[in-house]
Amino acid sequence: MSDPKRLVEMLTNLGALTPDWQAAVSEIDRALFVPDTYRNGDRVISRAESPQTWARYVYGDLPLTTQVNDGAEGDDGGLETPTSSTSMPSLMLEMLRLLDLADGHRVAEIGTGTGYNAAWLAHRLGDANVVTVETDPALAAQAQRNLAAAGRHPAVVCGDGLAGVPGHGPFDRLVCTCSVQQVPYPWIEQTPTGRIVTPWGNGFFSGSFAVLDVADGVARGHFAGRPAFMWARQQRPGRGFLRDYIHAPTAAQGSTRIQPETLYWDLDQRFAVAVQLTGVWPMLVEADDGSKESTLWLLTDDRRSWAAVDYVPGHSEFHVEQGGPRQVWDEVEAAHGRWQAAGAPTRDRFGLTVDRAGQSVWLDTPQAPFTPAAVVPQLAGG
């Protein structure tokens, strides 16, 4: 079965499709939002070459990449960065559940992409209650055509959604479908008594939804989920090849008892370290000789500093090298130590406060800051 019923059945079996979204998911045909060629992971799927595979993926619970490298021609020096997609439908539903929508709510969506999520929202709430903003003009125009083909006409605005959608608020809910490092204050002003849900984090770890309730000009809330979204264009952290980041010679060597693979894969550790760092991203390189050894590289966005920790199975102490002006591993070691001293709390105990001054992460209660007050991360340009 490769038709819309397949997707509904799949989402129902997963327990992801709740009654409030049944009609929208059943009646909005995802195929109207997907181009003839898209990517799933490394695979390029063409409707002309393999129509059955094309339809099977479209009606599957899969994210489909619809743009790479901001649509630019050429290969960006061999890098292929996904920059737009139709997200995984079960993840879309999880996000919409966190948004806690009610009939009659007025909603802003940041990151129109294909328009599929906006179509669900417009089906549920009515076209007049939905405004969606997309930074890429070609994508915004295509989304508007896709929405019209599905019989939906929410307002589609082309612009930088980090400014919200000035002139269209106030909103009861704001949902962002790209990751941000800093929750923009205009979102709070435009959702004065409502809820904001956004993928949030930094280059070290971005796999969390921030679920924030706004009152008196301040947004507060906890973290949830394990999303993997594309970055807001204007807040992208570093990315690329190792060779482009290792310039400084080794300045220090030592050892650590922090198991680098656990730090990389354990959501609680990585989250807690990430919120204490700015401008650092990790790359885990596994040996291809069957030894199960690996190196965890930590690279700074400014390409000036790096650290490397070698993992060897069975060892409890690991070799560390660092180069450049920042002692990146020392920063990680200190951040990890603070997390341990706090009793190694799980991520669901942390929360975020955002006000005019910036954002800060707390543990258990907003009165117990975990990061220094109102950290505004240094953001890489778009």
Ligand X SMILES: C[S@@+](CC[C@H](N)C(=O)[O-])C[C@H]1O[C@@H](n2cnc3c(N)ncnc32)[C@H](O)[C@@H]1O
Regarding 65 and contact with ligand X (CB under 6 A), the answer is no
Mark the segment that binds ligand X (CB under 6 A) among 228-236, 253-261, 285-293, 353-361: 228-236
Q: Which position among 32, 98, 135, 171 is part of the footprint of ligand X (CB under 6 A)?
A: 135
Site string for ligand X, 2-31 (x = CB under 6 A): ------------------------------
Across the beta sheet with 350-355, the strand order is: 155-158, 130-134, 107-110, 173-176, 195-202, 205-215, 218-224, 350-355, 358-363
Is the distance from CB of 90 to CB of 78 less than 8 angstroms? Answer: no
Site string for ligand X, 149-168 (x = CB under 6 A): -----------xxx------
Query: How many CA atoms does the CB half-sphere of 344 hold within 13 Å?
Result: 4
Q: Which position among 116, 185, 187, 271 is part of the footprint of ligand X (CB under 6 A)?
A: 116
Q: Which candidate, 342, 307, 309, places its Cα nearest to that of 326? A: 307
Whole-number Å distance between alpha carbons of 363 and 352 = 9
Site string for ligand X, 82-111 (x = CB under 6 A): -xxxxx----------------------xx
Mark the segment that binds ligand X (CB under 6 A) among 3-11, 114-122, 265-273, 356-364: 114-122
Closer to ligand X by CB, 230 or 363: give it.
230
Q: How far is the CB of 58 from ligand X (least distance, A)?
A: 12
Mark the segment that binds ligand X (CB under 6 A) among 132-140, 210-218, 244-252, 275-283: 132-140
Q: How far is the CB of 11 from ligand X (least distance, A)?
A: 15
Q: How far is the CB of 168 from ligand X (least distance, A)?
A: 13
Site string for ligand X, 178-217 (x = CB under 6 A): x---------------------------------------
For the chain, report the end-to-end CA distance as a whole number of angstroms: 41
Instruction: Please report, as a single letter, which amino acid is at residue 50.
Output: S
Closer to ligand X by CB, 71 or 372: give it.
71
Beta bridge partners of 220: 213, 353
Could you tell me where the beta strands, DSSP code E, fall in 24-163?
Answer: 37-40, 43-46, 64-68, 82-86, 107-110, 130-134, 155-158
87 assigned to active site: yes
Regarding 113 and contact with ligand X (CB under 6 A), the answer is yes
Q: How far is the CB of 302 from ligand X (least distance, A)?
A: 22
Is the distance from CB of 132 to CB of 125 less than 8 angstroms? Answer: no
Instruction: Please report, as a single letter, which amino acid is at residue 123.
Output: H
What is the size of the binding site for ligand X (CB under 6 A)?
26
Q: How far is the CB of 270 from ligand X (least distance, A)?
A: 22
Is the distance from CB of 379 to CB of 359 less than 8 angstroms? Answer: no
Query: In terms of C-beta density within 10 A (0-12 exposed, 13-18 middle, 19 or more buried), how is residue 230 classed?
Result: buried
Beta-sheet pairing, 130-134 with 155-158: parallel
Closer to ligand X by CB, 98 or 332: give it.
98
Mark the segment that binds ligand X (CB under 6 A) among 24-32, 127-135, 147-155, 259-267: 127-135
Q: How far is the CB of 64 from ligand X (least distance, A)?
A: 9
Closer to ligand X by CB, 53 or 81: give it.
81
Give DSSP secondary structure letters for 220-280: EEEEE-----PBPGGG----S-GGGT--SPEEEEEEESS-HHHHHH-HHHHHHHHTT-SSE
Q: How far is the CB of 130 from ligand X (least distance, A)?
A: 12
Closer to ligand X by CB, 96 or 335: give it.
96
Which residues, at least 6 apart from 265, have a Cβ–Cβ distance to it below 8 Å? none
Whole-number Å distance between alpha carbons of 118 and 126 = 10
Closer to ligand X by CB, 17 or 133: give it.
133
Catalytic pick among 26, 84, 85, 87: 87
The two tokens of residue 138 are: 């070609």
Residues lying near ligand X in the complex (CB under 6 A) are found at 83-87, 110-111, 113-114, 116-117, 133-136, 139, 160-162, 177-178, 229-230, 232-234
Q: Which residues are catalytic?
A: 87
